[in-house]
């Protein structure tokens, strides 16, 4: 599994967790709910340009379906992607100063 696939799987798991919690709280059958996550890649530098979460809940009425979508939208990872955090990348260790690098000796004839 690639890193982007893993990220999308995590998003799907998070969304399904929130959906399951909503359904459990209302004594509705979670087995009838399916969730799919898709993404488009593009741009330069290449990134995920669009992510779609599709929820299928054929056994639920209109009101329950609307509320289920709200529950999925409350997913922590979904909220994080909607308002992305600053990402800092840094080296974990400092460079230890040592003697200057020497040039390899050259053989001359």
Count of domains observed in the chain? 1
| Domain contains 99 | no
Q: Residues 31, 59: contact at Cβ < 8 Å?
A: no
From CA 32, how far away is CA 46, in angstroms rounded? 36
Residue-level pLDDT at 63: 94
- pLDDT band at residue 28 using 50, 70 and 90 as cut-offs: confident
Share of the chain above pLDDT 70, in %: 89
**Mean pLDDT of the residues in the chain:** 90
| Domain contains 97 | no
pLDDT digits (tens, 9 = 90+) for 59-92: 899 999 999 999 999 999 999 999 999 999 999 8
Ordered alpha helix ranges (H), 1-109:
3-25, 62-73, 76-82
Please give the residue range of the domain that contains residue 62. Answer: 3-82
| Domain contains 31 | yes
63, two tokens? 């009101």
Nearest to 77 by CA among 14, 34, 19, 22: 14
């Amino acid at each position: 599994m690639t890193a982007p696939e893993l990220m999308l799987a995590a998003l799907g798991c998070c969304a399904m967790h929130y959906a399951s919690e909503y359904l459990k709280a209302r004594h509705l059958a979670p087995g009838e709910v399916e969730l799919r996550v898709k993404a488009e890649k593009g741009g330069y530098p290449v990134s995920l340009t669009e992510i779609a979460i599709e929820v299928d809940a054929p056994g639920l009425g209109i009101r329950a379906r609307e509320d289920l979508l709200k529950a999925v939208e409350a997913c922590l990872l979904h909220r994080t992607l909607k308002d992305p955090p600053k990402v800092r990348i840094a080296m974990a260790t400092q460079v230890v100063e040592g003697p200057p690098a020497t040039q390899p000796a050259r053989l001359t004839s």
